[in-house]
Amino acid sequence: MVLIYVYRHICPIAGSSLNIFNMDISLIGANAGSVWNALHENGELDLTKLKKETKLSETEILAAIGWLAREGKILSVETKKGRRTVELFSLAD
């Protein structure tokens, strides 16, 4: 589920300025560490709270989530928050 979410949100769309492929792989790894630390310290967080805790852009966070998902270190759950569906991220056991 996480990889599908990340793919939908960071793959370039015609005319979009989001382009993960211009990011340095070591930067993605460092950002993954920041996301991991935020989840470790705070528990389950949504994307908005991850942005606030890490001070990273949405693109940087989603790339980091993809990195962590590939390593099996992150979980994702969709939940309803009022009328919105929110993706919550947490660390894998």
What does the block give as tokens for 33?
């560490």
Find all residues with CB under 8 Å of 15, minimum gap 6, and list them. none
54, HSE (Cβ side, Cα atoms, 13 Å): 27
Q: Could you tell me whether strands 84-91 and 74-81 are parallel, antiparallel, or unpaired per DSSP bridges?
A: antiparallel
Question: Is the confidence at residue 1, as pLDDT, over 50?
Answer: no
Find all residues with CB under 8 Å of 37, minimum gap 6, and list them. none
Is 0.85 topped by the overall pTM? Answer: no
Per-residue pLDDT tens over the stretch 6-56: 445 544 444 444 555 567 888 999 999 999 999 999 999 999 999 999 999
